[in-house]
């Protein structure tokens, strides 16, 4: 891989991927939503060119990018990935359209491969929502939008003869995270000595540090097979309560954990829904940052950037 486009490049995961690509000598065209985007880090790289293009105008991207020798189009841009915006139907449907538009754009520009940033929540939605008697929560609108985007984008890519890969994000965490996702929120609550309440914590989870996830995305873009899904995470999941306890012990061992105070409503994935060893088997991928090491880095970053 010599050249790549990254949408959502000023975001948490997109930013980490840009850093990984640059370290490997890849020229990056970083697509950001506005001039106000956090571009300080992007501007420090000599091998990165920045293109301002909001997600709703992604069809104009071929007019802004003159390069015609791009290897991979990484699509991370997605509005409303956390909090109440996950329940915004209009917003989530616009993300689906933008993903399909991104596939068309990648084909028009002449990219060889399209890598979609999928989500493990797609699989939770597919397992849980169709079952009789289940009661989906509003955040499942985000989950189903992610699933729909993958299905539609893949179908479109096949029709355009564009290589397509869906990279399933498990739970990526690390320095630079500012959203309301679980790890970030839990650490801030621990540091602020707030009351902690959780579900029973028996559901299986997996967390991967951002630098490891970025390396996995590079490998998928470099050598991933067409029309294939790759799980970005570790080979083996553990109960969520194990991660919470280990995280608490790093921040403050005296914090009381109130498991079971929040009812759990959703799928209980067994992680047999996808192949968690594919990255290792095909690319020899191994994580380099342990969960504890990643939490320590993240805690320090949050404290320094509060």
Fold classification of 3-177+206-236+271-289 is: Rossmann fold (3.40.50)
Highest mean pLDDT among 30-39, 102-111, 194-203, 255-264: 102-111
Is 167 strand, coil or helix?
Answer: strand
Cα 5 to Cα 55, 105, 209, 289, distances in angstroms? 14, 11, 22, 26
Q: How far apart are CA 132 and CA 249, in angstroms?
A: 40
Tell me the mean pLDDT in the region 248-264: 94
pLDDT class for 37, splitting at 50, 70, 90? low
- Mean model confidence pLDDT for the chain: 95
CA-nearest of 206, 179, 225, 256 to 13 is 179
Q: In the predicted model, is pLDDT for residue 306 greater than 80?
A: no
Q: Which residues partner with 117 through β-bridges? A: 167
- Tell me the average pLDDT across 18-32: 97
Which of the four pLDDT bands, split at 50, 70 and 90, describes residue 224? very high
Q: Give the residue-averaged pLDDT of 115-143.
A: 93
Class of residue 18 by CB neighbours under 10 A (exposed 0-12, middle 13-18, buried 19+): buried
Query: Which of the residue ranges 90-99, 188-197, 294-303 would you say has the lowest mean pLDDT?
Result: 188-197
Helix (H, G, I), strand (E, B) or coil at 92: helix
Phi, psi of 28 (to 5 degrees): -115, 130
- Per-residue burial over 216-248, b if 16 or more Cβ lie within 10 Å, else e, is bbbbbbbebeeebbbbbbbbebeebbebbeebb
Q: Which residue has the tokens 């790549």?
A: 4
Reported as a single tens digit per residue, the pLDDT across 273-295 is: 999 999 999 999 999 999 999 99
Three-state SS letters, 126-138: HHHCCCCCCCCCC
**pLDDT of 283:** 97
Q: What is the mean pLDDT of residues 233-240?
A: 96
pLDDT of the residue at 195: 83
Q: Is 144 exposed, middle or buried (0-12, 13-18, 19+ CB in 10 A)?
A: middle
**Confidence (pLDDT) at 266:** 83
DSSP tally for the chain: helices H, then strands E:
10, 11
Q: How much of the chain exceeds pLDDT 90, in percent?
A: 88
pLDDT band at 7 (very low <50, low <70, confident <90, very high): very high
Token pair belonging to 147: 């699933």
pLDDT at 36 over 80: no
Please state the rounded mean pLDDT for residues 190-198.
Answer: 89
Residue boundaries of the structural domains of the chain:
3-177+206-236+271-289
Residue with tokens 């571009």: 39
Three-state DSSP class for residue 304? helix
| 39 contacts 32 by C-beta, under 8 angstroms | yes
**What residue spans of 7-60 are helical by DSSP H?**
12-23
150-182 pLDDT, tens digit each: 999 999 999 999 999 999 999 999 999 988 889
Pairing of strands 72-75, 113-119: parallel
């Amino acid at each position: 891989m010599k050249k790549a486009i990254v949408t959502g490049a000023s975001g948490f995961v997109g930013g980490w991927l840009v850093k990984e690509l640059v370290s490997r000598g890849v020229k990056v065209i970083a697509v950001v939503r506005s001039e106000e985007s956090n571009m300080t880090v992007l501007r420090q790289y000599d091998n990165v060119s920045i293109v301002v293009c909001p997600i709703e105008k992604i069809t104009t991207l071929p007019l802004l990018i003159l390069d015609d020798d791009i290897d991979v189009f990484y699509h991370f841009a997605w509005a409303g990935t956390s909090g109440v915006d996950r329940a915004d139907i209009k917003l989530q449907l616009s993300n689906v359209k933008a993903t399909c538009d991104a596939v068309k754009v990648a084909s028009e520009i002449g990219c060889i491969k399209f890598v979609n940033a999928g989500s493990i929540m797609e699989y939770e939605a597919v397992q849980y929502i169709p079952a009789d008697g289940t009661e989906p929560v509003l955040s499942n609108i985000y989950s189903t939008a992610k699933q729909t985007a993958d299905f539609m984008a893949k179908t479109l890519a096949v029709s355009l003869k564009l290589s397509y890969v869906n990279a399933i994000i498990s739970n990526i965490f690390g320095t630079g995270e500012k959203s309301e996702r679980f790890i970030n929120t839990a650490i801030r609550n621990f540091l602020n000595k707030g009351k902690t309440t959780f579900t029973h914590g028996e559901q299986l989870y997996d967390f991967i540090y951002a630098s490891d996830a970025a390396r996995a995305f590079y490998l998928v873009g470099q050598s991933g097979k067409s029309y294939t899904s790759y799980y970005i995470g570790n080979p083996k999941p553990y109960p969520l309560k194990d991660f919470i306890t280990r995280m608490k012990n790093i921040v403050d061992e005296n914090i009381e954990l109130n498991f079971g105070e929040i009812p759990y409503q959703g799928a209980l994935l067994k992680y047999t829904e996808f192949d968690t060893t594919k990255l290792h088997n095909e690319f020899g991928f191994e994580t380099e940052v342990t969960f504890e090491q990643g939490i320590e880095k993240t805690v320090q970053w949050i404290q320094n950037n509060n």
